[in-house]
Amino acid sequence: MRIAMWSGPRNLSTAMMYSFGARGDFSVMDEPFYAPYLHVTGADHPMAAQIIATHETDPHRIADTCGGSGTPHLYMKHMPHHMLDGFPMDWAGDCVNVHLIRHPARVIASYAAKRESPTLEDIGFVQQTEVFDRLGGVVIDSTDIRANPELMLKKLCDAIGLSFDRAMLQWPVGPHPDDGIWAAHWYGAVHKSTGFAGVEGPLPDVPDVLKPVLEAALPYYQGLHQRRLSP
């Protein structure tokens, strides 16, 4: 089985990669199209030069690896906004596609703490909807996972035809060997964890300057949310 997990940033996506990586039957890939995205766009992201220098930047070579196999399964963490026009997507048609979502107020608040003034493009809701419309798949909300990890992971595994493994509920503290080099900037909280964080609190306040981003993202989130696996 090859799972393509599509998610915007600050969305429990690294914890989910660690969860599947804790299984003995899965290998994982961490945002393989991030370096090509930065190479083509020149986006001013933290560690951009190091990412481009360290990771493969040819999207066609990466697509070939995404079409490969795991041990015996492969879990790929992807961000939909990394898939620029001209980047191969045919490989995804043969994958189990899963769409991990989170309320945009939470995404914006978390992203802004790591990189100032995120745009609608940065948080990926439009692109994620486009990927869902193209590929279909299963939708799961990170808030539901944090509220009851075992229940929601069992529901996800059942929906995609995979046996549940309790190893998914816990992982070793520290980095994962398959982390991208960008983990040094973005993954601090996950590296201190050994499992999913607890129930989320009330929605955070979004600064006035970022409320237009929130308002633009909400319809896309709501459209996916109504298709999610229910708790």
* Domains (range + CATH), the chain: 2-225 (3.40.50.300)
Alpha-carbon distance of 8 to 101, in angstroms, equals 7
In the structure, what pLDDT confidence band is assigned to residue 113 with cuts at 50, 70 and 90? confident
Structure tokens at 178: 């398959």
The radius of gyration of the chain from alpha carbons, rounded to an integer in Å, stands at 16
Query: For the segment 153-206, what is each residue's pLDDT rounded down to a tens digit?
Result: 999 999 999 999 999 999 999 999 999 999 999 899 999 999 999 999 999 999
What are the DSSP E strand ranges found in the chain?
Answer: 2-7, 26-30, 73-78, 96-101, 138-141
Residue 117: the pLDDT is 81
Instruction: Work out the angle at residue 153's Cα, subtended by the Cα atoms of residues 148 and 159, and round it to the nearest 5 degrees.
Output: 130
Tokens encoding 117: 């003034």
Q: How many residues does the chain have?
A: 231
State the pLDDT confidence band at 134, using cuts at 50, 70 and 90: very high
**Do residues 127 and 80 make contact, with C-beta atoms less than 8 angstroms apart?**
yes
Q: What is the pLDDT of residues 194-209, one digit of tens each?
A: 999 999 999 999 999 9
pLDDT of residue 10: 85
**Nearest-angstrom CA–CA distance, 179 and 185:** 11
Give the amino acid at 64: D
One-letter amino acid of 89: M
